[in-house]
Amino acid sequence: MNALIISSGKIEDYKLLKKIVEDSDYIVCADGGVNHLLKINKRPDLVLGDLDSIGNKELQILKNENIEINKFPSMKNETDTELCLNYLLEKEYKNINFIGVTGTRIDHTFANIYLLKKMYGLGVKGSIIDSNNRIYYTEDTISLKHRENYFVSIIPLNKEGIEVSLEGFLYPLKREYLEFTSTRGISNKIIKEYGNIRVYKGMALIIQSKD
């Protein structure tokens, strides 16, 4: 079962949003994320948050169609996006994707990326998707399908760096060390049908991106 969290960050490609929605079994909107969903004439299973980013018109649509709404106070310890994630974790979803969680608020973007680590620690797979990027977190293995005109970057997250192998890439690696803060892992390319990444030690962000 695939779950999707839609937040109120930047979504430029509504065709992409529609495709991801159609591939999802359960959809939770973090507050104003529902505005994006309504623009493609789709409805969420649940809206969750403090509701400070939903217009009156959109809120009335939800009420008229009996969409479940869980309202939280504006003064809280988690962002609306994390509240959505916690809800899905309680429901034991094992694959959770995010869209609308990147944009002009770099603080929110970073915090949302770190939610991928939280998920990984609980045995849950997932990614962050926007018009130009797909972001993953791993401490072991991940296989990415070749995407035309996309780069792949491997970014160490822990101060000890990572030990990593790459197969199917333009610049392959075999149990090589990438230092924390090093840019060596930036802008590689998959040249086979799949690129296989194995992290032997450390924590890594894997970002598949295009200009």
What is the overall mean pLDDT for the chain?
Answer: 96
What pLDDT does 190 receive?
98
Distance, CA of 135 to CA of 3 (rounded, Å): 16
Last residue of a domain, one of 108, 130, 152: 130
pLDDT tops 90 at residue 56: no
**Token pair belonging to 33:** 């994320």
What pLDDT does 107 receive?
96
Q: For the domain that residue 174 is a member of, what is the CATH number?
A: 2.60.120.320
What pLDDT does 112 receive?
97
What pLDDT does 119 receive?
97
Question: In terms of domains, do 160 and 71 share one?
Answer: no
pLDDT tops 90 at residue 74: no
Q: Which domain holds residue 152?
A: 138-209
Question: In terms of domains, do 107 and 194 share one?
Answer: no
What pLDDT does 1 receive?
87
Distance, CA of 9 to CA of 31 (rounded, Å): 11
Last residue of a domain, one of 103, 130, 157: 130
Question: In terms of domains, do 101 and 176 share one?
Answer: no
> Per-residue b/e over 29-47, b at no fewer than 16 CB within 10 Å?
bbbbbbbbbbeeebebebb
Looking at the chain, the whole-number percentage of residues with pLDDT higher than 90 is 93
pLDDT digits (tens, 9 = 90+) for 95-152: 999 999 999 999 999 999 999 999 999 999 999 999 999 999 999 999 999 999 999 9
Domain tally, the chain: 2
Question: In terms of domains, do 124 and 145 share one?
Answer: no
Q: For the domain that residue 8 is a member of, what is the CATH number?
A: 3.40.50.10240
Work out the average pLDDT over 175-184: 96
Overall pTM surpassing 0.75 (yes/no): yes
Question: In terms of domains, do 44 and 63 share one?
Answer: yes
Distance, CA of 105 to CA of 101 (rounded, Å): 9
CA dihedral 152, 163, 123, 159 (to 10 degrees): -90
What pLDDT does 160 receive?
97
Question: In terms of domains, do 69 and 110 share one?
Answer: yes
| Residue 38: strand, helix, or coil | helix
pLDDT digits (tens, 9 = 90+) for 9-54: 999 999 999 999 999 999 999 999 999 999 999 999 999 999 888 9
What pLDDT does 55 receive?
84
